[in-house]
Amino acid sequence: MAEQPVVTEGQWIRIGSIDALVMLVGNDYISVGYYQNHAKAIKEDAVWNGNGWEFKYSGPNGIYLFGHEEAAVKRGPPPWK
């Protein structure tokens, strides 16, 4: 088991094969935005499982992002990531 890394809002992380933008850091979870199927910007909660980040809930979940949050997620991580 690996220690949970410190993350900050605005940082890009990986959840499996998904690039996700950290939007909120809570006590025991984070909220991230990601681009689902190159069609929709989604915000969803994630947790550290001891080895990596995973979505807090299985199955369909999350909310659509709009405005500047949607634009940031659609731009994706910087090329130097």
Is residue 3 included in any domain, yes or no?
A: no
Is residue 23 included in any domain, yes or no?
A: yes
Between vectors from CA 24 to CA 51 and to CA 43, what angle results, nearest 5°? 85
Is residue 1 included in any domain, yes or no?
A: no
Answer whether 0.85 is exceeded by the pTM: yes
For 32-44, what is the mean pLDDT?
95
pLDDT band at 8 (very low <50, low <70, confident <90, very high): very high
pLDDT band at 59 (very low <50, low <70, confident <90, very high): confident
Domain count, the chain: 1
Q: Which domain holds residue 62?
A: 12-75
Is residue 7 included in any domain, yes or no?
A: no
Is residue 5 included in any domain, yes or no?
A: no
- Identify the CA nearest to 18 among candidates 8, 7, 32: 32
Q: How many CB atoms lie within 10 A of CB 14?
A: 12
Q: How many CB atoms lie within 10 A of CB 25?
A: 13
Is residue 4 included in any domain, yes or no?
A: no
Is residue 35 included in any domain, yes or no?
A: yes
